[in-house]
Amino acid sequence: MPIWEAALLGLIQGLTEFLPISSTAHLLIARQLLGHENPEDAFTVVIQLGTLAAVFVYFRADIARMLNGLWADIRTRRFASTPDSRIGWLIVLGTVPVVVIGFTLKKWLKANFFHPTPIAVVAIVFALLMAASEWWVTRRTNRGLPPREEGNINWLDALWVGLFQALALMPGGSRSGTTITAGLFAGFARPVAARFSFLLSLPAILGAGMKEMYDERATLFASDQIAALGVGLLVSAVVGYLAIAFLLSFLKRYSTATFVVYRLLLAGVIFGLIAHGSLTNTNSDKKPDSSHLQGSVVLPEPAE
């Protein structure tokens, strides 16, 4: 893969992982437009580790407190003994649905949803759900109900948001988009919903990225690909950090309506590109011989 393509994909990943518009959808569409024969390969998953690094850096103090709290609970055989350890256990619980559903339905999801048409449909469905969550926020406000803060998040909330995170296994759903939507339905303040969404992403992205990196290590770390992978990871980390700061600031003042409109426009563009013939819904079941390819990366199908 040329370095400029890796940098472009890193830019796309960094911008779209935390903005509620679906990074996987944008990467799959961009890679097909760039002519990559297997746009759903391991590179699409592993590059998310760059944005994971952005979360670790941005929330490093919070994460350190959570890990210390979890370790203290384990040593003393207590649970949720402090606010920090409590959030840590909530994140553990919220991660369970995506792990269970990801391992159970990964092949079915890969076969049915990693193509332009279902991506566009899913983008529309979750745009409408996000719009409904904003209507619910307005309804709560009109009834005089204050938004819930982080200290009010309970076990049912964590499971609820975690179930929505599992829905983001469908490209077009958006991990941050589905979890922020769930948080708004639960009555969270918008910045609280976004913050919990970012922290909840840590185990899921880390687990999926490390597994793909291990499974496809022979190809990902080939001498002619490691530079491209490094550039993609670096760019996604830097841009992802800026995207986190932007979204947290944005949601303190504005609703998610802008992202609802964007997702609907994205779906329209995808349908237009399909009609034009620039995108296809063909699934690459065969793993082509990469020896004759120039300027592209062809990797085995990942285990999502």
Q: What is the pLDDT of residues 35-57, one digit of tens each?
A: 887 766 667 777 888 888 998 99
Residue 148, phi then psi, degrees to nearest 5: -80, 140
Helices 60-76 and 83-113, interaxial angle, to 10°? 110
- Out of 77-86, 118-127, 224-233, 260-269, pick the least confident: 224-233
pTM, two decimal places: 0.84
**pLDDT score for 223:** 54
Query: Hunting for tokens 């960094």 — which residue is that?
Result: 14
**pLDDT score for 224:** 62
Helices 48-58 and 3-18, interaxial angle, to 10°? 50
**pLDDT score for 287:** 43
- Out of 17-21, 26-30, 77-81, 207-211, pick the least confident: 207-211
Answer with the residue of higher pLDDT: 94 or 226: 94
- How far apart, in whole angstroms, are the C-alpha atoms of residue 172 and residue 47? 17
- Out of 78-87, 216-225, 226-235, 252-261, pick the least confident: 216-225
Q: Encode pLDDT of 260-303 as tens digits.
A: 999 999 999 999 999 998 888 865 444 433 333 333 333 333 33
**pLDDT score for 294:** 36
> Tell me, what DSSP letter sits at residue 145?
P
Residue 188's closest CA among 65, 258, 264, 94?
A: 94
3-state secondary structure 139-201: HHHHCCCCCECHHHCCHHHHHHHHHHHHHCCCCCCCHHHHHHHHHHHCCECHHHHHHHHHHHH
